Amino acid sequence: MPRILTAWGRRGWRAGSLGLWLAAFAAAASAQAPAPSPGPAATPIAFTAAWDQLLRRSDRLAAARAATDSEDLRASGLAGLGGPVVSLSGAAYAYNANLDVNLDPVNQRIAQLEQRLPIPLQNLPIPVAVPQFPSRYTYNRHDSGTTASIGAVWPIYAGGMADAVRGMQEARASESRADADKATHELATLLVQRYFGAQLAARAASLREAALQTIALHDASAQKMLDAGVIARVDRLQARSALEEARRNAMKARDDAELAATALTRTIKSDTPVVPSNPLFVLSAPIEPLPHFLSAALQRHPGLAKVAAKKSEAERLHAAGEASRKPQVFAFGQRELKSGNADWVAGIGVRYTLWDSVDRHKLSAATLQQIEQAERTDAQARADISLLVERHWLAVEQARRQFMAMAPGAELADEVLRLREAGLREGTSTMLDLIDARTNVTKVATERAQAANDYVNALAALLEACGLSEEFAGYMARADIRLE
């Protein structure tokens, strides 16, 4: 902040100069900074309402729910795998068959028989002609009809293949649910960042606007003093420079607030612009101890659930490979659907693979390695998650302590402002001292709001790491410090 009215220094005011300044400041009180152009009306929205709307309208959550529903339906569809299969088959047919027959051997055989007779047939009192067939004859057969049959196959023993397939699908459904839970927790943290980020930006814009109003009054007063010959021109230019800087800062803060509000509106897919109604908050007392969150994280973190699902898939895949190496026993039957003497067949079959070009021993060893991979991943994930939870827990506590440590500074800044206002009335302080005091109050208020925002974001990250994002609203309700 440029030093203004240095001609008066710290020695206090002369009686005539004090009266002149008070008159100038009173005249400048009506010179307000230009207000920002009004934008579209925004609707205040509570955090819980924003969360409910995000759950309903998020495309990411809808996609995750669709994937989970798909896997659940597939698991339900495979629930009866390994049971009997009954099929009905039918056909309508027509055919035309031609068969060419060579009759020359028959004619030759007849001639040989005639030669063996005692009296040739032609020498009989009544001659008899020897029959002769054509050398070739084509036989034609054609017909049409229908046929229908019912058949059944019932696997009696398949080495546990059906159980392995069902278990694999259930593991995939569990993995899909873990992915959906992870997406939900991540969106909850994103909403906290966007919601309270918009609140912080609006608060910063309000503070910048108040600073602009104050400096505008100061600028108008400086002009009155320059006209009265009380201050030098360089002091007047310093006041104008401070006003321009405050105007730029206020404009940037308003733009940041509008951008943050737009991000919040688009995050929850609202049809109309929204602004947050819940203020930034801090719990003055420490939250639950670290072991509470570590225990919750090791039970509820979606990443651990996904690793467990991967391990279950590997185990079921190994079981399926082992089942394919065992004999299969099944019953079967089929009957023609017609009255009278219908054809039918029934029996029990056994199938056992003696040799296969696929090396099933190596495939079995590969699935065992997948199981070990899942176990190692689970151990590493537990260590990483524990470290992540501890880091976020410390961040929450650090933000809380930092915010609480700012309370005496805020009280001191308010007290200094009060004394500067009184000193200005009594002539023991300069206008620059008052502006510095007001600027310091704004600075301390902004820093406290930023610390509260850091606390809120650290709390949301901690709850996400523990799989407890749904408890954020409860902490917000418990807060005993709110930056209204």
168 and 121 part of one domain: no
Whether residues 68 and 103 fall in one domain: no
What sign has the CA pseudo-torsion 209, 210, 214, 215? negative
Q: What is the CATH number of the domain that holds 411?
A: 1.20.1600.10
Residues 145, 285 within the same domain: no
Number of other CB atoms surrounding residue 311 within 10 Å: 19
Residues 111, 251, single domain; the answer is: no
Domain end (from 116, 134, 155): 155
| Chain centroid offset of residue 80 CA | 32
Closest-CA residue to 203 (of 276, 149, 102, 269): 276
Q: Measure CA 334 to chain center.
A: 51
In a domain, 106, yes or no: yes
How big is the CA angle at 194 (ends 190 and 200), to the nearest 5 degrees? 140
Please count the other Cβ atoms lying within 10 Å of the Cβ belonging to residue 39. 10
Residue where a domain stops, chosen among 155, 172, 187: 155
In total, the chain counts a number of residues equal to 484
**109, 126, 155: which is the final residue of a domain?**
155
Asked, for residue 341, whether it belongs to a domain, the answer is: no
Q: Within a domain: residue 343? A: no
Residues 244 and 364 in one domain: yes
Q: How far apart are CA 466 and CA 61, in angstroms?
A: 19
User: Contact at 8 Å (CB) between 153 and 345?
Assistant: no
| Residues 328 and 351: beta-carbon distance below 8 Å | yes
Give the whole-angstrom CA distance, residue 167 versus residue 117. 85
- Residue 10 lies inside a defined structural domain of this protein: no
Q: In this structure, are 419 and 282 located in the same domain?
A: yes
Residues 179 and 100 reside in one and the same domain: no
For residues 140 and 96, is the Cβ–Cβ distance under 8 A?
yes
Query: For residues 68 and 181, is the Cβ–Cβ distance under 8 A?
Result: no
Same domain membership, residue 403 and residue 256: yes
- The answer to the question of residue 336 being in a domain is no
User: Are 209 and 268 in a shared domain?
Assistant: yes
Tell me the pTM: 0.77
Range of the domain at 47: 15-82+158-326+356-483
Is residue 306 assigned to a domain?
Answer: yes
- Establish if 331 belongs to a structural domain: no
**Shared-domain flag, residues 225 and 370:** yes
> Do 398 and 472 lie in a common domain?
yes
Q: How far apart are CA 107 and CA 134, in angstroms?
A: 8
Cα dihedral value 236, 237, 239, 240, nearest 10: 120
Number of domains in the chain: 2
pLDDT in tens, the chain (484 residues): 333 333 333 333 333 333 434 444 444 443 343 444 445 578 999 999 999 999 999 999 999 999 999 999 999 999 988 899 999 998 898 988 888 878 778 777 777 766 666 666 566 666 656 667 787 878 788 888 888 999 999 999 988 888 999 999 999 999 999 999 999 999 999 999 999 999 999 999 998 898 888 878 877 877 887 788 776 788 778 778 878 888 998 999 999 999 999 999 999 999 899 999 999 999 999 999 999 999 999 999 999 999 999 999 999 999 998 898 899 999 999 998 888 788 889 999 999 988 888 888 898 899 999 999 999 999 999 999 999 999 999 999 999 999 999 989 888 988 888 887 787 677 676 666 777 787 788 888 889 999 999 999 999 999 999 999 999 999 999 999 999 8
Partners of 106 in the β-ladder: none
Strands 136-157 and 85-102: antiparallel
Tell me, yes or no, whether 175 and 151 share the same domain: no
* CA nearest neighbour of 448 among 395, 407, 394: 407
